[in-house]
Structure 1
Amino acid sequence: MTEVTLTPVITIALDLNSPNFTYAVEELNNLVEANNMEVAETLTQKLDRSDPATYFGKGKIEELKELVIETGVDTVIANDELSPSQIRNIEKAIDARIIDRTGLILEIFANRAQSKEAKLQVELAKLKYQLPRLHTSASQRLDQQTGTSAGGGFTNRGAGESQLELNRRTLQKRITHVQEELKEAQKADETKRKQRDRSELPTVALVGYTNAGKSTIMNGLIKLFGENEEKQVLVKNMLFATLDTSVRKLTLPDQKSFLLSDTVGFVSQLPHQLVQAFKSTLAEAANADLLVQVVDYSDPDYQLMMETTAKTLAEIGIENRPMIVALNKADRIEGPYPTREGNDLIMAATDETSLQELTSMIVELAFDDYETKTLLIPFNRGDVISYLNDNANVLSTEYLAEGTQVTVELGGADLNRFDDFLITN
């Protein structure tokens, strides 16, 4: 296995009297690690507001410049989204590349996207982020100012302006092209989603903060109830290890089946461009009958993570949906597990008893419309008996003179599908 070389960077952050500042800086440093970088130094400043020109105050910018020279680092990452002018001014002052929080997350997403749709979504978000940040390069600005003997300053100034405008048009054209490609990719995904909807199976979506353990829970449930254990999803102790939504069919011992999806994780201050871009990816969550919010219960800031999840779900239009809160990673702290209180479950994704309890809660909420029915099936309708045995929880079977009497749990469309055979409620 090839060892990844980590790029050293300096992180910078403004403390605007936020009670969550320490948590925000720690999260930024975790994002840096997720992008194959390592934090050489962290520089912070406490201000009432960001300097509109340089983010930090003048003195702190000088300190940052000295730190860049001292460490030899050529990349600085800011904890907030910076304006185009702030980026240009800081880069000029410190002679190093500056990446803001949004740019960092976009880089991570670009490196992790696997499916065609995810790649297009990330590219679209990056293009929209880059468009207002286009500016002529230092060499172009120099040409505009000095001119050449052949054409003078006016000619080159026009050429420089034309180059900037050309870059803008090229970006706009690419944005339009990607949007068209994305529409086609989304049509294909929508077709798949409609096919799944026609299967009339309940849908359950795992949502929550990145690295909370969603994929570990999904793999545990696939191992217990999946049709193919090889269809497990990637698990890695890293922010945004997976971006693509995975959907798996799970069948319980009583023949109840549901579709489980593992969605992209959230993070505080998730760039608006990405929230918008990933609305279609999160459509699995938007259309789900039940959400399971996975929370890293061992993290002292888990309540902030839950607030981030609620805010992000609201931003993409997912509200007032039945939800289980899976307080995961309880094996890392003191206290009993699994422990249930209402729709909250303290659990550990690596513990089978926890997974079984979570499954019981999913059944309780996702199959709440199921009813016990008794049917009398004529002997010449073996197809109905076969369907029920394969797709429903048959509680009892009795052979009578008139046919086969079965007591069975039915839900969804099946509640009305077999009305002709119904003999009792």
Structure 2
Amino acid sequence: MSGFRHSLTGETLVPLTFIKEDSVRNFTTIIVGGGPHGVMLLRQLQARGAQQDEIAIVDSRPLLHWWRERLHDCDTQWLRSGPEHHVDAPVASSLRSFARERGREDEFATDAHRPMVSLFNDHASHVIERSGLERQRIAAVAHGFSRLPNGTLLLRTSEGSLATRHLVLATGPGGPFYPRWATRLGSSRVCHIFDQTFERSSLEPGCRVILIGGGISGVQVALALAEAGHQVTVLTRRVIGVSATTTPEDWTAARLAQMTALPYEQRFEMLQGAGDKGTLPSWEQQRLAEALRSRTIVHRVCNIESIRSEGADVCVYIAGGRPDVERAHTVVLGTGFIRDLPEWLRTSARNLNLPLTPSGAPILEPSLEWGTGSCIYLMGAGSAPVLGPYAANLIGGMLGSERIAVSIVSESSCAPRG
């Protein structure tokens, strides 16, 4: 959709004559992304009096669909988060009350009272149904956003355009990250645990599998494959670290205040290596240690030089001074997510001149608004310079949803543009 540049702000504006009025649905707030963060914000806005017809949440699949799929694919049984971190964000005791009323209090772990995934998901389904959240979902894929001359934001989707005063981007993590040496192979025998098509059950019984990556999701998949009778070798670049929970003592309010006092670009240095990314909680480390003792899993610390297909095998060549190769029928990557924002989002942000660091990261206000007065908010990993290293986790969704809801309801940061 073409447009013109605002003489003062430089933003790309879309003339009203380009939009058919009867083809655009209007909302006060649109949330892009139906994962835990998006659902938390929906509940926060509801609790502050927002009406159902004022808010839409855009996702092509039912709420929490990809969250459930990912946990199932990784065979995740327990969450790292505590009982107060759940989708019913305005009510801290909601998950505990749900468990108590149904006699399921034994589904909290004895350490830190972490919930089982099944309990968390059942509670989430209860909240979504009780609050009618699914009725607010528009089944569509977001393609971009722009601003009309009157200041209204226009979200373009696969099902048409939507107009809104406030736009919240809760798109979750990026796509699966494929290292360069993996993309060169182009083989169907190399897959990623976060591919939407990944299915552990599709592997032939008893096959040899190399899993590359030592974070919690990768190790959980390795353990599940070993338990299913596959021969599993785990390759990691470094010794697998251990981190107990998503709220360790080193990130207190004082630590967060220290970070947010820094210039925005310098905050990333403080975030380097912080948080639980690429680590195992102690209970999963114990499971892995037992698998290593019993030799149902083999673990090597090494650097990978290349991957090649040789006959019936996929060969992983290890960097070093001597020939060293690991062979398998299938290579499974647990190498995390792409860090960059989706292309449609980056293009839209550039067109609206939303503030970015020299390295291209979004610059957010304390309310998580992307630039003062933009009425555009960002949740998830991109909010780490404001919320800390756990911004992409459930606790980040709890903190972020409250800040955004307060900002939206107050209207103070979103004066109409003329």
Computing the radius of gyration from Cα coordinates, the structure with the larger value is 1
* Bucket of the pairwise TM-score, normalised by the shorter protein: under 0.3
Higher RCO (C-alpha under 8 Å, 6+ residues apart): 2
Greater fraction of residues in helix: 1
TM-score, length basis structure 2: 0.26
